[in-house]
Amino acid sequence: MDYITPHRGETTIGGTRFSWGARTYVMGVVNATLDSFSRDGLGGDVEAATAQALRFQEAGADIIDVGGESTRPPSVYSDVQPVTAEEELSRVVPVIESLSDVLQVPISVDTCRAAVASRAVDAGAAMINDVWAMQRDPDIAAVAAEAGVAVVLMHNQKGTVYDDLVPDVVGELRRIMEDALVAGIAPDSIVLDPGMGFGKTAEHNLELLRRLDELDELGRPILVGLSRKSTIGYVLDLPVDERVEGTAATVALSIAGGADIVRVHDVKEMVRVARMTDAVVRGWKRA
């Protein structure tokens, strides 16, 4: 298919224009969950979630990503419990409604359910971040297309077997993108995510990070999320709450490899890492 322009261009998300390539954008994670792997789950505490999002905005976050169900892979975390759509809605919608009244940056909803995405958009979300890229619930594509919101489509699979890791990921992301276009999602609304930690071993994640520039051929902005993930824990032999330096290294290398958005938990620190890395990678002049 030839809908995709050879450059990444711009995307308007919730009234904010994102100029891909001009700088790196930071997505701050607000977990309205009880069992987040990152140990920052806030459950249904709307007040705490709102306060956290406001802190992230003040620290320089460009997007706030709200999720109501843990996406921890069962292969790594044996205590993962499924969440019903009703429970996910009860966690996510009140937080997004609250945030839409006070935030100046766009809100993203982290969900793979069409019903949750639809309600979240009605509540004020301007982006749908689907870790199953419309494969778990295909109706989510129609929700995104009808609402005209941006989408993050992530590579994911069951198991960790590949014929050739990076070409396989690139090929699947291309197929996912083409499906989104057929569903009516605008080309400039699509952001792609290689899915670090999803259907991949630690070695796979490190190789993908090392070869991230090979995703440039897809012609769309790339989001990378390695913040606090188990790969960092394996390499450094550190618990989740001691992975900020490892996260910083992956953020810097993601930007050097061409990432346009980094999804992080430690917003203040990673905004500084992104700005410093941008100064090296994209150029800098004294004010």
For residue 6, is it within any domain?
no
Rg value, the chain, Cα: 17
pLDDT at 33: 81
How many structural domains is the chain composed of?
Answer: 1
For residue 18, is it within any domain?
no
For residue 250, is it within any domain?
yes
For residue 19, is it within any domain?
no
Catalytic residues: 229, 263
Ranges of residues in the chain with a pLDDT under 70 are 1-7, 35-43, 72-81
Q: Taking the mean position of all CA atoms in its chain, how far away is CA 73?
A: 16
For residue 243, is it within any domain?
yes
Q: Write a three-state SS string for the chain.
A: CCCCCCCCCEEEECCEEEEECCECEEEEEEECCCCCCCCCCCCCCHHHHHHHHHHHHHHCCCEEEEECCCCCCCCCCCCCCCCCHHHHHHHHHHHHHHHHHHCCCCEEEECCCHHHHHHHHHHCCCEEEECCCCCCCCHHHHHHHHHCCEEEEECCCCCCCCCCHHHHHHHHHHHHHHHHHHCCCCHHHEEEECCCCCCCCHHHHHHHHHCHHHHHHHCCCEEECCCCCHHHHHHHCCCHHHCHHHHHHHHHHHHHCCCCEEEECCHHHHHHHHHHHHHHHCCCCCC
For residue 72, is it within any domain?
yes
Query: Alpha carbon of 176 to those of 65, 134, 135: distances in Å?
Result: 21, 8, 9
- Burial category of 23 from C-beta neighbours within 10 Å (exposed 0-12, middle 13-18, buried 19 and up): middle
For residue 11, is it within any domain?
no
Q: In which domain, by residue range, is 143 found?
A: 24-280
For residue 10, is it within any domain?
no
The CATH number given to whatever domain includes residue 164 is 3.20.20.20
